[in-house]
C-alpha cells in the first residue's frame, strides 16, 4: 500500500546572529547604552526589543549574553 500522505521537505531554520542583533539594537538606542552604565536594568529593555523583533524566536539566554558582551565592549 502506498503512503497516502505526501512527504514534505524539512523546514529550513536559520538561527539568528545574536551578536549582530545586539550590535544593531545598541546602535539604535545609544541612550539605553549610556543608561546601562548606571542601571543594569537597561539590559531588559534592549532584550525586550530584540525578542519583539524576532517574534519570540530568539533564545533569551543567548540574546542576553550577546547584549552583555556588546554593552561591556561599548562601555570600556
Domain count, the chain: 1
pLDDT at 32: 93
Per-position pLDDT tens, the chain of length 76: 555 666 666 666 667 899 999 999 999 999 999 999 898 889 999 999 999 998 888 899 999 999 999 999 998 7
Q: Which residues contact 36 (CB under 8 A, 6 or more apart)?
A: 42, 43, 71, 75
pLDDT at 61: 94
User: Domain with 47 in it: what CATH number?
Assistant: 1.10.10.410
Domain that holds residue 43: 18-75
Tell me if 54 is assigned to some domain.
yes
Tell me if 7 is assigned to some domain.
no
Amino acid at each position: 500500500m502506498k503512503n497516502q500522505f505526501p512527504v514534505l521537505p524539512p523546514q529550513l531554520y536559520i538561527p539568528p546572529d545574536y551578536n549582530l542583533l545586539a550590535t544593531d539594537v545598541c546602535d539604535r538606542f545609544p541612550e539605553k547604552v549610556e543608561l546601562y552604565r548606571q542601571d543594569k536594568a537597561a539590559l531588559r529593555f534592549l532584550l525586550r526589543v530584540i525578542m519583539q523583533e524576532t517574534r519570540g524566536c530568539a533564545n533569551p539566554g543567548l540574546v542576553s549574553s550577546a547584549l552583555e558582551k556588546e554593552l561591556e565592549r561599548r562601555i570600556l
